[in-house]
Structure 1
Amino acid sequence: MQVKETLNDGLKRGYTITVTAAELDDKVVGKLKEAQPDVEMKGFRKGKVPMAMMRKQFGPRLMGDAMQEAIDGAMNEHLTTSGDRPAAQPEMKMSNPDWKEGEDVVVDVTYEKLPDVPETDLSKVKLERLVVKADDAAVEEALKNLSESPQAVSYDAKKGAAKDGDQVLIDFVGKIDGEPFDGGAGEDYPLVLGSNSFIPGFEDQLLKAKAGEEKAVTVSFPEDYQAPHLAGKEAVFDVTVKEVRASKAPEIDDELAKKFGAEDLEALKGQIRERLEAEYSGASRAIAKRKLLDELDTLVDFDLPASLVEAEANQIAHQLWHEENPDHQGHDHPEINPTDEHKSLAKRRVKLGLLLADIGQKAEVKVTDQEMTQAVMNQARQYPGQERQFFEFVQQNAQFRQQLQAPLFEDKVVDHIFDKATVTEKEVSKEDLQAAVEALENED
């Protein structure tokens, strides 16, 4: 078996693999001898079938297996010896497609290898992490928002006309073409005007209504309404307003705290402070991560596999096209060609992806089974009632598991770099942090 280099240009590699006819024949004979003890044929005892007859019966099929094994073996041996890691599946093509038994097999192999990522002195990375403390004013503001939330607000009956924010207690019967329809009736329903919980236009027509008043409310179901038999149709609701109620914000005290599962007001304040600081910390980390990636993009440079960059640029262009054309769900669209901007972003992503993977591998960063299980459970919550089917899908889909694992691995590598880098903390206001987040979003 011979492996001869035919291409060595940057990351591009090409080889010709030659498997001689004698080598193939030896492999076929070896397979036949291995199988001979278990072979039975009419007129011969088990294990006593002559090699010539076995070769005639099974040889052609085993020849294909022998060819594949020989080529795969030569390729694996080459990759082990050279240390090359193909960026994608190597392209293999027989240079003698009209091959006949008794001839050598010659295969042309081409691929792009992953680059050798240079060592990076992570201690040279200098970063600033923004720190925001949840002060008393922020806690009080959050408490006030909680007290005004639907869970906390109560309603007391009032006289006069209903206005935005009031609650009306209503009975209603909906009709299409004069006939009631399923799901279109209700009794003693508490509807908060302005909550947009009913069909668009319904709540607006109850503004200025008074207790005891009956109204005919005419609305049209949206074209994309979840019940297809109602979508786009006009309906008339006969509504009786039984009571008009004004909202009443609760006192900010221990009773309010208990509504939100806290023992008392001080305990609720403590929970709010922790939640706010967790939110601030998450935003601060996102900013620091972006600055870290920018720093690494500038600090490190190496050749990139053109095939990976091209694939990433095509994916970016395709994704952005669909975001700009949300009504076009299928793939029967005009040809989408990446722009220079797409290609530039693709180069950054490929470079950083390879760099983080290399740093993580050298640092032996691993995603634990527990972390993967938690990620799967978090995803499963998006499919209430279908969790079991989702778990089965994840178990059977290695590509999807990789998609879940990739961001976990990246975040662990980023944390590893944070530990090695020179990081200084800068205390800022909540407003400064928000401005930094908005600046980050505008860059994307």
Structure 2
Amino acid sequence: MEIKSNKINGANAEIEATILRDEVDANIEKIAKELAKTASVQGFRKGKVPVAVVKKQYGEKLVEDAEAEALREVLSKGLDELGISNDSLIGEPTISKFDKSDDKIEVAVKVAMRPQIDLGDIKSLVPDFTKPEVTDEEVDARIKEIAEGQAPLVDIKRNRKMKEGDVAVIDFEGFIDGEAFEGGKGENFELTLGSGQFIPGFEEQLIGVKRDEEVTLPVSFPENYGAEALAGKAAEFKVKVNQIKVKDEVVVDDELAKKLLQGDEEASLEKLKAEVKKAIEQEKLAKLYNEELKPKLLETLVEKIDFDLPEFVVEQEIDMAVNKKASQMSEDEIKELRENPEKLKELRETFRDDAIQSVKATFIIDALAQDMGVKVEEQEVMQTIYYEAMQMGQDPQKAYDQYKDAGYLPAIQMSMVEDRVLSTLLNEKIEA
């Protein structure tokens, strides 16, 4: 067996070999002898089956197993020559050449290794930024907003015209071409004017209407309305205003603070302001991180940290991009790609740069996570999915099972690791 090993770069290697026919035959003989000890062949006692009979019975399968054994030997010897351990391999070796002739087999096997990444001085790559400030006016406005949210609704005493922000308690019924339609009727419905809860034009036309008045409101359902039978249709709503409610006034004082900071025996307005200020700071910081700093930091890391990438991982990323693109293509377009290899190749190349950036980012985040000791356990992934599902009114367990069955959990976990790594680097910049 002749073996020639070539380390292409820090993440890819190729092993070429010539497997002689005699070596394959020797493997066939060895496998057949082992199989003869356990094979069940009619007319022979178990363990007493002649090797010649085994060869005849299992013919092509023996050849395949013998060739596979020779390939394993090629891989093992090639990795030894290259000084590559099995632990450092990524994915399965790829057979790029397998040419059989009467007396030999010419093979080439490509292998990929986990890249060695020199992270260097990561902190120098983290962008400078200023922690967002929160003004007293913002704190007061937020507390007022919270107070108004806590305030009960009360009927107005005098019958004035309604304005934006009022809560109209209404009976309504909708008609299209004079016919009432399903789902278009309600009684004593509380509608906050200006909330955008109803279709465009409905709430605006109630402004200026008084209690006990009955009005007819002409409106049009949006073209993209959820109910297909109503989308784009002109309609009229007959509306009667039963009550007009407003938020009762709430005094912003220590008593409100005690109500909002339940369980805190030292609750006060000043303490409430401090807590609200801290919350607004976190909101602003999260917005700054997510919309500006994290994308910028990841882009810088990918640009500045250079290392070799496993070819097959990049190709897999391109495969996913092509498949996603194909799902949006017509049958004729897909047929053209199948019949024109050059066109498919051109399409694949359009995704290569993005694929390289994405794969680089994944390896960098993985290396940083290991270096920083950042982990996200499966339980945390489950809790995140549960929380988001509950926020959207979905069944948490069903949502989790759907993600799991679709194979999305590793991607979600990796996304959470990335978020934690980048947040940690940015937080350290603040503390420094």
Tell me if both proteins adopt one fold, taking TM over 0.5 as the criterion: yes
2:328 alignment counterpart? 330
Give the Å deviation of 1:251: 2.2
Q: Which runs of 5+ in 2 are unaligned?
A: 335-342
Query: One-letter code of the match for 2:144?
Result: K
Unaligned runs of 5+ in 1: 323-327, 427-444
Find the partner of 1:389 among 393, 398, 410: 398
1:8-47 counterparts in 2 under 5 A?
8=8, 13-47=13-47
Q: How far apart are the structure 1 equivalents of 2:379 and 2:416?
A: 12
Counterparts of residues 16-165 of structure 1 (less than 5 Å)? 16-72=16-72, 74-75=74-75, 78-79=78-79, 81-83=82-84, 91-96=94-99, 99=100, 103-110=103-110, 115-118=115-118, 120-122=120-122, 128=128, 130-131=130-131, 136-149=136-149, 152=151, 154-157=153-156, 158-165=158-165
Greater relative contact order, per chain length (Cα 8 Å cut-off, separation 6+): 1
CA drift at 1:51: 2.0
- Residue 211 of structure 2 aligns to a residue whose secondary structure is coil
- Of residues 397, 409, 414, the one that matches 1:401 is 409
Residues 10 and 115 in structure 2, CA contact (< 8 A), matched pair in contact too: no
Within 5 A, what are the aligned runs for 1:41-440? Answer: 41-72=41-72, 74-75=74-75, 78-79=78-79, 81-83=82-84, 91-96=94-99, 99=100, 103-110=103-110, 115-118=115-118, 120-122=120-122, 128=128, 130-131=130-131, 136-149=136-149, 152=151, 154-157=153-156, 158-253=158-253, 256=256, 262=262, 266=269, 268-269=272-273, 271-283=275-287, 293=298, 296=301, 300-302=305-307, 330-332=328-330, 350-361=359-370, 365-381=374-390, 384-398=393-407, 400-414=408-422, 423=429, 425=431
Q: Which residue of 2 aligns with 1:325?
A: none
Deviations 1:140-173 (A, max 9, x none): 2210122344x53634324122222222221112
- Equivalent residues, number: 411
Is the 8 Å Cα contact of residues 152 and 259 (structure 1) preserved in structure 2? no
Instruction: Provide the secondary structure at the position in 2 that maps to 1:170.
Output: strand
Residue deviations 1:167-209 (CA, integer Å, cap 9, x gap): 2221112223333232211111111211110111111222222
CA RMSD of aligned residues (A): 4.4
User: 1:360 deviation in Å?
Assistant: 3.7
Q: Which moved more, 1:13-22 or 1:197-206?
A: 13-22
In 1: Cα distance, 2:167 partner to 2:393 partner: 30
Tell me if the contact between 1:376 and 1:404 (Cα under 8 Å) persists in the aligned partners.
Answer: no
SS at match of 1:404: helix
Instruction: In structure 1, give the amino acid aligned to 2:61.
Output: R
CA contact (8 A) 1:262 1:268 kept: no
CA contact (8 A) 2:221 2:230 kept: yes
Alpha carbons 1:130, 1:425 under 8 Å: kept: no
Query: What letter corresponds to residue 213 of structure 1 in structure 2?
Result: E
Structure 1: distance between partners of 2:36 and 2:140: 84
- Give 1:56 deviation, angstroms: 1.3
Residues 128, 288 of structure 1: 8 Å contact kept: no
| Aligned residue identity for 1:229 | A
Query: In the aligned structure 2, how far is the partner of 1:330 from the partner of 1:169?
Result: 46
* 1:179 partner amino acid: E
Maintained 8 Å contact 2:219/2:236? yes
TM-score (norm 1): 0.72
Cα deviation digits, residues 256-281 of structure 1 (max 9, x gap): 55775735654654542442243345
